[in-house]
A and B are shown apart, each in its own frame.
Chain A
């Protein structure tokens, strides 16, 4: 097969990043261009600093004792911690058995993400491509469902789950969290599918593929940025919930991570920020790794020269 990016070639070869092909020639820019480059990297640095500095603070807090936490920057070392101690971490794992809530959160968030990605992709595709009467109404409903105030939902859902004996169980949460994830995932994917030119699909169909095959081999790879974005959004939305978890879960063994964190970080009057932050560090590292891994997949699906 030739190296040309013809529609037929694209139809069967999953889209890859085109980034490498467009690398600028390696000579140092000068004059205005140099200034712009420097400004650019400065902006990048500022963006990273703003994003990560609070996390540095969380990390620092997790390694301090409670009294040092209260002192904050007012302590002797200012930005740097004065003493390091892992007591918060050992407390989290040994006394509080943090592993269990972590696992519970992972199960629920992954479950919700999996369901969301599949269901929202199908619906988004259908709403973008297929002649559905009342597509507008359906989209409007999906939107309302996403914006019904959670506070107004908790009470009635508690009643419902009580009747159905679904309280203190993490699995119903997977369905409940869909309320956070499905609306935005569906809208996002619908817009994505709308933007993919029909030519790609039609080329595949001309080549003899069935509509579903065309969907799988051509549309989905090209829509990969959207699908991965939707997946990441869904995961984090599901992971972060506190309101539903605190209402529906009763025994510590069934708590999700945000719930557990708040619980063991507090006694009646005291808040143990170091314990809470240690837990946050523990949670964030796998998520950050997950994102680092997934972000490489959020690349352009459309390649140069696909429309000659």
Chain B
């Protein structure tokens, strides 16, 4: 091997590389021929979650394949970590891949994916959006068209220990008094309120849960409204003035908050319904778990933050009809009820909240109530950036490094530049 040869190899590689860049740069045609739903085909479904959720998805898929013997579904298992999941999905989209055909998408992504041309409009399939809870459908809309269908729903609410707090609080001020009273009553309690304060997306939803009760609304063009500032002030005071929440919340995510509640260390917790399922497994909170929307203050309404997953179809997929059939199957009431019973994922369809489900897991009654009040985060293609600014603001306030009004007005001006730029 001589140096010249090595150089030629290098140039060859370079040439290939440039060609690949150019090829990747050129997009493919916009209209792709679709395979008919009745033909034999395999579709790829990308979803996260192993363990119980994965098993339940597998079971649902098997049911679907039995009902539609000509369609085979292959599952692409992506990371259970939401940021990594997003990364993996985006890589596939950017690569112009026609798979996965069906994908699971967090409620905050559809607008972004739609604007980027990565998922296709489902309007042509005439989805019946009225069958869902009122606020869910909005998360999947873009420019007036439906791009994603709600799969399961996760409204965040306020958990409380029914043995320590016999009547649930009816105002935010009462949450404080109840928390203090409970802390005096039970020495096992380390704090009165636990919530997610780490610098990540979960901080935005736990904050959002308290926004409506103060008359606020999380919209991109009015982030620093009086109501929003009041809500953040309440949370800040909970840590530093009323001292019902520990400073440690700055490092807490859903898992830690859940542990605090199910281990009996906290009287109140802002978290998702899964906590009820874990509490029922054992511990001081077993049989003593209450779940309500965050109580409304004067001029506000009960608060809950909308989370959950939706289903969408890849814009480059050639199996859209079959993919839509899978979506319809997965969101059907019976399949959703079965999933709820097995995994605790709350159904997105009110019809799936059956008496049988309530008998098995009574907390779904409270989840149904939460769903009526669940507020979405700003539905915008730039939501991820909006969220990044919000996260910095929240983290700064919880660390006592900024005032709530100061942090939110900084975030508001940053978001304004976004919308303009």
Contacts and interface: CB of A to CB of B under 8 A. Distances in A.
Nearest to A67: B263
Contacts of A154: 91
A270 B84 contact: no
A8 to B, nearest CB: 34
B258 A270 contact: yes
Interface string B152-179: 0000000000000000000000000000
Interface stretch (B26-34, B46-54, B287-295, B357-365): B46-54
A77 to B, nearest CB: 15
Interface string B258-286: 11101100000001101000100001000
Contact of B262 (A67, A262, A263, A271): A67
Contacts of B260: 70
Interface string A258-272: 000011101111110
B259 A269 contact: no
Nearest to B81: A266
B20 A250 contact: no
B259 to A, nearest CB: 4
Contacts of B351: none
Contacts, number: 74
B256 A70 contact: yes
A269 B154 CA distance: 11
Given A163-B20, A263-B50, A270-B258, A247 B263 contact: no
Given A262-B79, A266-B80, A267-B52, A66 B259 contact: yes
B198 to A, nearest CB: 12
A160 B96 CA distance: 12
Given A71-B263, A267-B80, A247 B20 contact: no
B245 to A, nearest CB: 17
A251 interface: yes
Contact of B51 (A71, A247, A250, A264): A264
Contacts of A264: 50-51
Contacts of A270: 254-255, 258, 274, 278
Contact of B77 (A71, A251, A267): A251
Interface in A267-305: 267-271
A250 B53 contact: no
Interface residues of A, number: 26
Interface string A234-272: 000000000000110011100000000011101111110
A291 B253 CA distance: 36
Nearest to B84: A246
B88 interface: yes
Contacts of A263: 50, 79-80
A252 B79 CA distance: 10
B283 A67 contact: yes
Nearest to A133: B3
A96 B77 CA distance: 14
Contacts of A247: 87-88, 91
B135 interface: no
- The B contact surface, by secondary structure, is helix
Contacts of B259: 66-67, 70
Interface string B60-86: 000000000000000011011100100
Dominant secondary structure of chain A at its interface with chain B? helix
B263 A70 contact: yes
Contacts of B50: 96, 252, 263-264, 267
B24 interface: yes
Contacts of B116: none
A268 B95 contact: no
A122 B263 CA distance: 59
A70 B265 CA distance: 11
A55 interface: no
B80 A268 contact: yes
A64 B272 CA distance: 25
A47 to B, nearest CB: 29
B94 interface: yes
A250 B272 CA distance: 29
B97 interface: yes
A250 B274 CA distance: 27
A268 B345 CA distance: 10
> Which of B20, B52, B84 gathers the greatest number of chain A CB atoms within 10 Å?
B84
Nearest to A158: B91
A67 B259 CA distance: 6
A148 to B, nearest CB: 14
A71 B284 CA distance: 14
A66 B278 CA distance: 11
Contacts of B77: 250-252
A155 interface: yes
B258 A162 contact: no
Given A247-B87, A267-B53, A268-B80, 9 more contacts: A158-B94, A247-B88, A250-B76, A262-B81, A262-B84, A266-B80, A269-B253, A270-B278, A271-B255
25 contacts: A67-B263, A70-B256, A70-B263, A96-B50, A154-B91, A158-B91, A158-B94, A159-B24, A159-B94, A159-B95, A160-B20, A163-B23, A246-B87, A251-B76, A262-B79, A262-B81, A262-B84, A264-B51, A267-B50, A267-B53, A268-B274, A269-B254, A269-B258, A270-B258, A271-B255
